[in-house]
Homo-oligomer: A and B are copies of this chain.
Amino acid sequence: MVGVVYENLDLKRERSRCSFDKEEITNLIDGGKEKTQERRDLEEFIVSDEDLKDSIPIEYLSHADKYSAELRKACLLFKKLSDPSNGPKDVSTVALLSTGAGAIALKEGNPLALHYIMFLPTLMSMCTPEQQEKWLPKATSLQMIGTYAQTEMGHGTFLRGLETIATYDPATKEFILETPSLTAYKWWPGGLGQTTNYAIVMAQLFTRGKCEGIHPFLVQLRDEETHEPLPGISVGEIGPKLGFNTVNNGYLGFEKVRIPRDHLLMKHSQVLEDGTYVKPASTKLGYGAMVFVRVLVIRDVAVQLRKAVTIATRYSCVRHQSELKPGDPEPQILDYVAQQNKLFPPLAATFGFHFAANYVWDLYNTARDGIGKGDLHLMPDLHGLSCALKALSSSEASNFVEVLRQSCGGHGYMVCSNFPRIYSLVTAAETYEGENTVLWLQVAKYLIKTRMDKSGGQSVAYLIDPNLMSNKIADLSIDSITNLFKRVAAGHVDLAMKELEGYSRRGMASHDAWNHSSIHLIKAAQAHARYFVADCFARSIKEGKFSAPVRSILNQLCELLLIYWLVERSGDFFMFAELNAQQLTELQSKYMELLGTIRTYAVNLVDAFDIRDEALGSVLGCWDGNAYQRLFDEASKSPLNKSTVHRESFEKYLKPLMKSNL
């Protein structure tokens, strides 16, 4: 860098005593040196493009103007990237969207995102070769811009309840799409409002008077020239939300809309011309996409949490407040133990979720290869783990983000801190792609089944290990603590099973017993997920290749996270893992020690996340630590501050009131 670059002195001091190779951590997170370089190139490509910048921060705009502003950049971005002479090659489109580099240009969601994340992949996985030949060229060249319309106003996670109907008419060889009620309106699909002209619509397929269940149909929504909705199509956007306000989520209703027979995506199921329904070879074949998105969510959540941790840690280094030692200058708030207790558990959790996400990612790829060869044996474990980790990572990260926001006091409440936006994105993941409570109960079903049938995948094998409860607590090493998590998980599963059996013995029907046991079942699933992350974190450190300093840091973070989780729910460990009060006290002392150690490198560690200021999007967390100046500069962008008096409102409202001599 040329010229004098400001750097806050507190940050400079921390950086001058870095004891590890930051690049090693960066590469670990990106997945290798090459991936780091690719990411940096892509970010640079986007950041250096003046056309992708906002003239005014979007939070000042009206709802409609926000949409226009972001659509402009979305169109530009995809156009530029489609030209191979423009910037980096071999860019996975997914990396561009949501939390990836694309978030630098589009902070609150991309109205074209679903086209790439759901529409194209579904065409690729659910179409016959003939269908692909017909549609893929139009879809990749963006003549067709599509979304994926599944959720309805009245039905989300419970797919069987979807009401939209597609009835086959053999006379015309068409399907007739119908929205039979208000609750059957499609509701939520991204881009559906004003952006897309096509959609994959999930509907109940009726043929020969029989319902064959939910199937995907390609439906044209708008004229390709005029963009006007086609006859019978009612479409619009659903209005403002907690976040994602530029995704253009929409609604969609059908009144006797006819589409050709071959607009049913027919790779797996078919309807013949005469209306004969041909079943798919396996009902699980269409399941891959949902798992894939859930695995992406786990990764995205970790990205968002790293941002929040970076902002709060740097700001805590820069911010001085109150007094520790009477008479001394105000200390950095990073030196308050209560502050460290807010910052470092989430810092540690970013690594725990990183390793867990990697594990599921690998499992997903292995399972997909197997499915290609007809081998489905990894599916239960993949389903169970993707549900458990999606639910755990999204809920933990949401809580952590809010603690981190509050650790920055009032300034964290400002949009320009970027905490409000990060929270809105992370907490959404608690609901979309399978509502968390529903997912926990699915995980519980897998756990109970494993325990009862004495069978199940690798992630649940511990539940049927005869030696499960025999290991005594030898010491308070990471291995021993992990073992405690295992016993707690198993204990919860047993307790839930006993409860189920108790209700059954008293004559309750099994579905009622399940409902009445659901609180314990959910706790069992959560304990299982925590054990998995704890174990995966510990194992990944053991099995990975790291320099000595980085290995030591990872071990400290792992230990901190495990103790933090344990202390937060010590009752479970007393109940199920024979923990005693003395051991708890020892663990708490260890925890205090770890906070002190991590304090020495926390700033360097978040630097190693390598999130550039444009991606961080926070005046409080900027690399140079010039938080107050940036906070002030950001306020000066407010249109209300463009003149010394806001004439319009003063003349119209305030002045008459002041002069009214009340």
Contact = CB atoms under 8 A, between A and B. Distances in A.
Given A409-B435, A656-B75, A638 B237 contact: yes
Given A321-B161, A336-B518, A63 B237 contact: no
B658 A67 contact: no
A438 B441 CA distance: 39
A71 B654 contact: yes
A338 B519 contact: yes
A635 to B, nearest CB: 5
Nearest to A567: B571
B236 A640 contact: yes
Contact of A161 (B322, B632, B635, B636): B322
A156 interface: yes
B59 A194 contact: no
A631 interface: yes
Contacts of A68: 646, 648-649, 652-653
Given A62-B639, A427-B402, A437-B338, A145 B648 contact: no
B415 A240 contact: yes
A110 interface: no
A325 B511 contact: yes
Given A242-B413, A437-B338, A592-B516, A653 B75 contact: yes
A153 interface: yes
Contacts of A570: 571-572, 574-575
B227 A78 contact: no
A515 B325 CA distance: 10
Contacts of A628: 153-154, 182-183
A214 to B, nearest CB: 15
A88 interface: no
Contacts of A427: 402, 406
Interface string A633-662: 011111111001110111011111110111
A251 B635 contact: yes
Contacts of A644: 228-229
Contact of A649 (B67, B82, B435): B67
B432 A321 contact: no
A72 interface: yes
Interface in A170-201: 182-183, 185, 187-188, 193-195, 197
Contacts of A155: 321
A562 to B, nearest CB: 16
A415 B185 CA distance: 19
Interface stretch (A97-105, A136-144, A265-273, A544-552): A136-144
Interface string A117-157: 00000000000000000000000111101000001011111
24 contacts: A72-B653, A78-B657, A140-B662, A141-B661, A156-B409, A158-B330, A194-B640, A194-B645, A222-B645, A227-B655, A228-B645, A229-B644, A236-B640, A237-B635, A237-B640, A239-B416, A240-B414, A242-B420, A324-B511, A325-B509, A516-B592, A519-B592, A571-B573, A574-B575
Given A75-B657, A157-B322, 8 more contacts: A59-B63, A60-B64, A68-B652, A239-B634, A248-B640, A338-B519, A406-B436, A412-B431
